[in-house]
Structure 1
């Protein structure tokens, strides 16, 4: 079964990696070790946006996020 590593930044989610569960678990740890915040704005009102990561099966992601793409349910 294929899985996606999903990045969630301020509620916006996107797949950043695709692979096996065991492979993505190590990738997830790598992403979480890196500084994963981005500065928004350049003045005194600037703030940091942090990313979180999770793993989901490709089938579940496709069903919930790609309604026009045929999904193989076998």
Structure 2
């Protein structure tokens, strides 16, 4: 996923097994939530990607967060 400097357009590459599909979108209004520095770069889930491409924040306050299995006390 690539974002323009104005954060109003993005390109995405998807490998479908025998070639790439290029998706390009320019927003008429608003900007994409995008990392401003290398320290803000992170992996995102498919759900977070969908939110991002729909112009929503990837930090949805009402979304149920995934739980990582671990030890319970």
Give me the TM-score of the superposition, normalised by structure 1. 0.27
* Structure with the largest fraction of helix: 1
* Structure with the largest fraction of strand: 1
Give me the TM-score of the superposition, normalised by structure 2. 0.28
Query: Relative contact order (alpha carbons < 8 A, sep ≥ 6): 1 or 2 greater?
Result: 1
